[in-house]
Chains A and B, each alone.
Chain A
């Protein structure tokens, strides 16, 4: 119940944040100039967020997950498809966990 309550509060916040980004540039044009420096900052942020998502799995240092992440990197280089790379990574993790459980 508590978690549900805060989920809907968070959902409202996320919805407002998302829409504000979508209309932000449109409404701000003419008031604020988006300098190249600001643009560089806005463009650099998503890569940092992705690092933040992956970091706990690297920090935990479990072999199946580390092997899975390396698989993602290699398959991504080879296929340039994020779906294929993610599925391959998850498959390696599933196999690794089975091997660990068996061993």
Chain B
């Protein structure tokens, strides 16, 4: 079986955009939550919007909000938090490289700007099935990006109308979301050591030296544990 030659066409973009629509409602709701929390933590609408456009990662943006509200001067801590959360994209873009390396550089680098979890998974499935139009990756990325931006703005506006966010537990949505994402990331016993190491680092820090660095150091502790545990 020989696969089709790799192309990058408008039809491919459209096909990716249409097939990724099932992802859009979830992304929009997630965007709503981020927009609302960003407002609650004191960001302006423009700052929230720019963050959604240029960071474009729900979990990384939520983590950054926590770091920012703990310690607003910790630029390095914010950057490292984003790296720790988005490190998985290094794996995604490495996996998709054989496909994207056959289109032009600007097309490939532009497409990767919009790479998301759902769109990547969808694109890899299409590639495995023999589909070769790399426009698909851009289209499925756009299908996530547009509701993400829209959700952010609407969420920000809704939250700014709310009279007393604390009374409704809105400030707690951030750790609540983080806990829920953490549980959904759980893949079994392989994650026990990373989890235990992160707790061992984060709890003492949170008790005795609270700062934005708690998030970074907990992430690094988990990564180190994951590497050490590998192959045992």
Contacts and interface: CB of A to CB of B under 8 A. Distances in A.
A24 B50 contact: no
Given A49-B63, A52-B216, A58-B203, A10 B78 contact: yes
Interface string A41-66: 11111111111111111110000010
A10 B166 CA distance: 27
B83 interface: yes
B54 A18 contact: yes
B54 A72 contact: no
B87 A19 contact: no
Interface residues of A, number: 68
Chain A contact residues, majority secondary structure? helix
Interface in A1-55: 3, 6-7, 9-11, 13-26, 28-29, 34, 36-55
A48 B179 contact: no
Determine which residue in A16, A41, A54, A72 has the highest number of CB atoms from chain B within 10 A of its CB, and name it.
Answer: A54
Contacts of A91: 169
Contacts of B94: 24-26, 28-29, 34
A21 B219 contact: no
Contacts of B182: 47, 50-51, 54
Question: Across chains A and B, which 7 residue pairs bring their CB atoms closest together, nearest first?
Answer: A48-B222, A44-B226, A25-B94, A52-B218, A50-B182, A94-B169, A15-B54
Given A11-B55, A21-B87, 14 more contacts: A10-B68, A10-B75, A11-B47, A13-B79, A14-B54, A22-B115, A41-B223, A52-B198, A56-B210, A76-B179, A82-B184, A85-B180, A90-B168, A90-B172
Interface of A: 3, 6-7, 9-11, 13-26, 28-29, 34, 36-59, 65, 68-69, 72-73, 76-77, 80, 82-83, 85-87, 89-94, 97-98
